């Protein structure tokens, strides 16, 4: 059985789409998934990446694309009332349900649906209170969204993801390899299914290919 680490931030529509698509994409294979919330903004900042929302035409395209992808794969997806938004309250709420940085599929799904189903404000105080109540049985003793433990777990998860080479979400870690994005799910399946391509030189070609761009003068 292969162990997969699913790195996600609830602000990402692709994380929601991948979450819903994963069971079908990997049907019939032997695997276990652990879900680890990370702060996407910190991953992007590490590489000076503004993200799709930082480039106006790309932002427009991204929102159109994810709405179409939701339609195409049969996943309900409505843009929240404001996006992007600060995901910290949601990340900390999820990690209030954890002792070690991992959350279960129920918690991950509840928070993702809170954001991506219904087109409402993800940070509306009344909705956040309702989410907390819905997760009450999952919250660890002494934890809440404002306690130190979820904040420390989020920091540790994000730093571990950075060290593993994660640069965006959703990302899937298995056997030291990182598969990034919703569209990497077929590649992930092929790896888990023993595709011989992964025994050849293809995986490491990027590291062996020199860049043809000159360094930017400063």
The pLDDT tens digits along the chain (218 residues) read 999 999 999 999 999 999 999 999 999 999 999 999 999 999 999 988 888 888 999 999 999 999 999 999 999 999 999 999 999 999 999 999 999 999 999 999 999 999 999 999 999 999 999 999 999 999 999 888 889 999 999 999 999 999 999 999 999 999 999 999 999 999 999 999 999 999 999 999 878 888 888 766 55
DSSP secondary structure of 101-125: S-B-HHHHHHHHHHHHSSS--TT-H
Q: Which domain holds residue 38?
A: 2-198
Residues 178/171, Cβ–Cβ less than 8 Å: yes
Residues 174 and 34: their CA atoms lie apart, in Å, by 11
Residues β-bridged to residue 37: 8
For residue 61, being part of any structural domain is answered with yes
Q: Which residue has the tokens 């349900």?
A: 97
For residue 212, being part of any structural domain is answered with no
- Cβ neighbors of 166 (< 8 A, separation 6 or more) are 7, 38, 43, 173, 178, 180
E-only strand ranges, the chain: 2-8, 31-37, 171-174, 177-180
In this structure, what token pair is assigned to residue 194?
């023993």
For residue 203, being part of any structural domain is answered with no
Radius of gyration (Cα) for the chain, nearest Å?
18
Q: How many domains does the chain have?
A: 1
**Prior bond of 84 cis (ω within 30°):** yes
For residue 205, being part of any structural domain is answered with no
For residue 217, being part of any structural domain is answered with no
Q: pTM higher than 0.85, yes or no?
A: yes
Residues 162/46, Cβ–Cβ less than 8 Å: yes
Q: What is the dihedral of CA 29, 32, 35, 36, to 10 degrees?
A: -120
Residues 115/167, Cβ–Cβ less than 8 Å: no
Residues 72 and 124: their CA atoms lie apart, in Å, by 29
For residue 215, being part of any structural domain is answered with no
For residue 53, being part of any structural domain is answered with yes
Sheet holding 2-8, edge to edge: 31-37, 2-8, 171-174, 177-180
């Amino acid at each position: 059985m292969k162990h997969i680490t699913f790195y996600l931030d609830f602000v990402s529509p692709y994380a929601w789409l991948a979450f819903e698509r994963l069971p079908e994409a990997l049907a019939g294979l032997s695997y276990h998934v652990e879900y680890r919330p990370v702060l996407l903004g910190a991953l992007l900042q590490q590489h000076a990446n503004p993200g799709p929302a930082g480039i106006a035409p790309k932002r427009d395209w991204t929102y159109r694309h994810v709405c179409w992808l939701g339609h195409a794969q049969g996943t309900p997806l409505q843009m929240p009332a404001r996006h992007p938004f600060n995901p910290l309250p949601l990340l900390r709420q999820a990690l209030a349900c954890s002792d070690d940085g991992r959350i279960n599929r129920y918690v991950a799904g509840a928070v993702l649906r809170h954001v991506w189903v219904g087109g409402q404000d993800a940070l509306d105080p009344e909705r956040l209170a309702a989410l907390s109540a819905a997760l009450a049985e999952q919250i660890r003793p002494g934890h809440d969204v404002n306690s130190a433990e979820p904040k420390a777990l989020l920091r540790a998860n994000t730093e571990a993801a950075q060290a593993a080479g994660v640069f965006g979400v959703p990302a899937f870690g298995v056997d030291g390899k990182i598969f990034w994005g919703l569209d990497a799910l077929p590649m992930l399946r092929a790896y888990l299914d023993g595709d011989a391509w992964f025994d050849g030189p293809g995986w490491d070609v990027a590291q062996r290919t020199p860049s043809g761009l000159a360094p930017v003068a400063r």
